[in-house]
Amino acid sequence: MITIPLTAVDAVRITIVMDNVTDPLLFPTQHVERTTWFHQLAKPRAASAVTEDGLPDALIAQPGFSALVRVTSAGRERTILFDAGVTPNGVIENMRRLEILPGEIETIVLSHGHWDHVAGMEGIAREVGRGNLPVLIHPEFWRRRRIAIPGLDPAELPATSRSALEGAGFEIVEEQQPSFLLDGSVLVTGEVDRTTPFETGFKGHEAEVHGSWEPDPLILDDQAIVMRLAGRGLVVLTGCGHAGIVNVVRHAQVLTGETAIAAVIGGFHLSGPMFEPIIEPTVAAFDDLQPELLMPAHCTGWKAVHRLAARFPDAFVQSAVGTTITL
C-alpha cells in the first residue's frame, strides 16, 4: 500500500456532542475540559447554559455518537462534524447548550449508515444556515440493513436515503478509498483493511443486495477520520469501529506511515456477548499501540471501558457529552 502524506497540524480539539453518557460531576484535567454544573451556573443567566429558572440546562445523553472536530494549522482553525447522533434534535440541542454555532461546520463526515450516527442530520439541516454543505460517506452507506439472530424475528434498522439528505440541502460526496479534507489535514480512512485474527465482524448483520438479504458482517462503509499532530503522532476518531478498533488504528498507521498514536477516541464496539470475547485481545493489541490518550465511547461497553481504564490508567479518559479533548 502506498503511504499517503498526511499534513501535520498544530492542534486538534474534539468535543463530544453526543454520547451514551453525560456526567456534570466530572471535573477537568490536563488536556480535558468538562461541562460541569459549576461551569454552567457560573455563566450569566442569559447564557444558553441555564434555563429561565436559573437551573443548569442539562446536556442530553442518547445512545448515539457525534463529535465536533477543530483542527488548527498555520494559525487557522477548521471545523468538521463527525456523525450526527440518534435523534433529529439531540445534537442540535447539545450544540446550543455548548454554544457551538452550527454555521461554523465546514463539512460533515458520517462514519457509516446506522441510524444512531445519522438521524440528527434533520435537525442540523434546519440550523446550519446554508445549503450545499458537503457530507462525506462511503457508497454502501445507503444499504438497507437488518439484524437476523437465530430464534428471533429479523429486525430491520432505520435507514436514510440520498433524496432525504440532498432534499435537506446537503451535497453528498461518496468515497470508497481514503480521501482528504481541509487541505490535506484530515484523512478519511475509506474501507479499513481487516488484518487481526479476532476482529471478524458483526454476525447476524445483514444487508439487502439486489433485492435479497445477504450476510453483511464487515459493514464496509464504516470509516474513521485521522489527523497527524506535529511531533506527537496520529489522532484517530471512530464512530462505532465496526472494522475493529485495532484494525482501524493499524490501518491508519499503514496509510500514513506514522506509528506513534497521540489519541484514539470514539466507539470501539466491544459491548455484549458477541463482542466481549475479543476484549482481551484488543487490550493486548493496545499494549503495542501505546496511545497517549484513550477515550472509548458510545458502543464500547461497560466491561471493555473498565478493562481499558484498568490497563491504561495514565492514558484513559472517561467519555461524556460536553467533554473537549485538546491535543
* 1 in a structural domain: no
Query: Could you tell me if residue 3 is inside a domain?
Result: no
pLDDT beyond 60 at 23 = yes
Structural domain range at position 313? 8-326
In a domain, 271, yes or no: yes
The predicted pLDDT at position 110 comes to: 98
Choose among 157, 155, 163: nearest CA to 121.
Answer: 163
| Residue 145, C-alpha cell as written in the block | 440493513
The pTM of this model reads: 0.95
Whole-angstrom distance, CA of residue 17 vs CA of residue 35: 11
User: Is 2 among the domain residues?
Assistant: no
- Asked if the structure places residue 218 within a domain, the reply is yes
- Examine residue 159 and state whether it is found in any structural domain, yes or no: yes
What would the pLDDT profile of 202-236 be if each residue is shown by its tens digit? 999 999 999 999 999 999 999 999 999 999 999 99
Residue 46 clears pLDDT 60, i.e. is over it: no
Mean pLDDT, the chain, rounded, equals 93
Measure the CA–CA gap between 69 and 81, rounded to whole angstroms.
Answer: 6
Domain contains 63: yes
With CA atoms as reference, report the closest residue to 98 among 44, 53, 60.
60
CATH code, domain carrying 191:
3.60.15.10
Q: Number of structural domains, the chain?
A: 1
Cell representation of residue 326: 485538546
